[in-house]
Amino acid sequence: MSPGPTEIEDNVLEAMATKGTNPDLDPAFYERYKGVVSKYNQLIGTQNATSLLLAGEAILGLEAACSSTIEPGDKVLCISNGFFGAGFKGFIEMYGGIAVLVESSWHRGVTVEDIRATVEANPDIKLATMVHCETPTGITNQVAAICQYLHEKNILSIVDSVSAIGGEKVSFDSDKIDILLGGSQKCLSAPSGMTLVTLSDRAIAKMKQRKSPIVGYYTNLANWLGWYDRKWFPYTQSLQNIYGLEQAIDNLLKKDAVAEHSEYAVKVRKVMEVNGLKLYGQTELSNTVTAVMIPNNLDYDLFFTYLLEEHKILIGGCLGDLKGKVFRIGHMGANNKQDNFVILFKALDHAWNHFNLGTSCFESSFKEL
Ligand SMILES: Cc1ncc(COP(=O)(O)O)c(C=O)c1O
């Protein structure tokens, strides 16, 4: 029940276990890849954007987006209200950009008002980076409002939606997003090892109009342009991961996945609050992950080990200053099953008893919802 990699459905594992082909030589594979892209585009609300399924963890997508679009000297707004938002600064600077950091509270979502003054004071900003769902803190940022505002200001947006796609509403076209980054192993519940990159025409134009060459090969998204017409991929595709991803996307498209995520998110938060636990976030709480303050008298490492060894449950901890202070429940993708939550909450009741934390009613309060 951690915030990714999440549980993988059997039909996804079965899809991965089918025989492959030679993806470089077989024309049918190019059609299949195109089909997966078009299903993915449906999931993220775009008609014509260019989506690429890259072999590599989601960090590859974050780095590739920066390496392909940022030129030395470009001013880049780095919107941060958490670990991943702040982390973009490193990529911006690695590729010669000048990061203009705008930081807001980690306990709530970023708003247009948080960035307006900085944008207006820096009319030469060309790009902006932001995170849709800050997985470590369980906050979902207002991607639609912010990207529409950035678009009006002629600023290209790079959005890390790794832990949101499939669990939060994403409308690539109407939200005016320029580069959307997803990972296979969070709400999509596909095997880890793929990053999904979607480019608007403006993002492609920025790559084509560069004065300096893109540094790197694996992170050079321009290498992918025209792959279908050329019947050529920059490197050999991970067949079985793509087969698994396709089935995982089919699983999500069959239901109202965002509503399902929202339903479990609300339930998890209620159960935490009924049991006297404080959430880390105050507003804009995520559909996909809940970050909970650890009671003062509970040692996180002992708690984690107890749940794993006694109940075979993995929950998430946190990073940096929040290490040992926050634990996280991933209500993402195929984790979202009634039985999984019953097992989790029963285990929390046992843990409360084991660590003498007083009476608790995790399981019963969940079942009453
Ligand atoms: C918001 C966000 N971005 C990027 C990543 C990086 O993903 P990966 O570990 O698959 O490279 C994560 C992983 O937790 C994430 O939560």
- DSSP string across 38-87: HHHHHHTT-SS-EEEEEES-HHHHHHHHHHHH--TT-EEEEEESSHHHHH
> What CA–CA distance (Å, rounded) separates 76 from 179?
14
Question: Which residues, in sequence order, are CB contacts of 88 under 8 Å at separation 6+?
Answer: 62, 66, 78, 80, 99, 129, 130, 131, 158, 160
Confidence at residue 249, expressed as pLDDT on a 0 to 100 scale: 98
> What CA–CA distance (Å, rounded) separates 234 from 237?
9
Mutate to test the pocket of ligand 1, among 131, 163, 170, 319 (most ligand atoms within 8 A of CB): 163
> What CA–CA distance (Å, rounded) separates 161 from 18?
29
The tens place of each residue's pLDDT in the chain, 369 residues long, gives 999 999 999 999 999 999 989 999 999 999 999 999 999 999 999 999 999 999 999 999 999 999 999 999 999 999 999 999 999 999 999 999 999 999 999 999 999 999 999 999 999 999 999 999 999 999 999 999 999 999 999 999 999 999 999 999 999 999 999 999 999 999 999 999 999 999 999 999 999 999 999 999 999 999 999 999 999 999 999 999 999 999 999 999 999 999 999 999 999 999 999 999 999 999 999 999 999 999 999 999 999 999 999 999 999 999 999 999 999 999 999 999 999 999 999 999 999 999 999 999 999 999 999
Question: Which residues, in sequence order, are CB contacts of 175 under 8 Å at separation 6+?
Answer: 45, 143, 144, 147, 148
Q: Side chain identity at 200, as an amino acid letter?
A: S
Confidence at residue 27, expressed as pLDDT on a 0 to 100 scale: 96
Confidence at residue 186, expressed as pLDDT on a 0 to 100 scale: 98
Residue with tokens 């296979």: 184
Give the angle 110-113-114 at the CA atoms, nearest 5°. Answer: 50
Which residue(s) pair with 78 in the sheet?
A: 101, 129
Question: Counting every residue, how long is the chain?
Answer: 369
Nearest-atom index, ligand 1, CA of 134:
1
Taking the model in full, what pTM does it have? 0.98
Which residue(s) pair with 52 in the sheet?
A: 197
Percentage helix, strand, coil, to 5, in the chain?
45, 15, 40
Mutate to test the pocket of ligand 1, among 84, 192, 218, 290 (most ligand atoms within 8 A of CB): 84
Whether 106 and 139 have beta carbons less than 8 Å apart is answered as yes
Nearest-atom index, ligand 1, CA of 164:
1
Long-range contacts (CB closer than 8 Å, 24 or more residues apart) made by 295-300: 295/357, 297/355, 297/357, 298/355, 298/357, 299/324, 300/324, 300/325, 300/327
Distance 58 CA to ligand 1 centre (A): 6
Residue 42's nearest CA partner among 51, 55, 53, 33 is: 51
Residue with tokens 């890849």: 33
Mutate to test the pocket of ligand 1, among 162, 180, 196 (most ligand atoms within 8 A of CB): 162
Q: Tokens in use for 168?
A: 């939060």
Dihedral Cα 244, 185, 238, 200, nearest 10 deg: 100
Nearest-atom index, ligand 1, CA of 62:
4
> What CA–CA distance (Å, rounded) separates 291 from 269?
9
* DSSP symbol at 321: G
- Ligand 1 site residues, Cβ closer than 6 angstroms: 4, 57-59, 84, 131, 135, 160, 162-163, 183
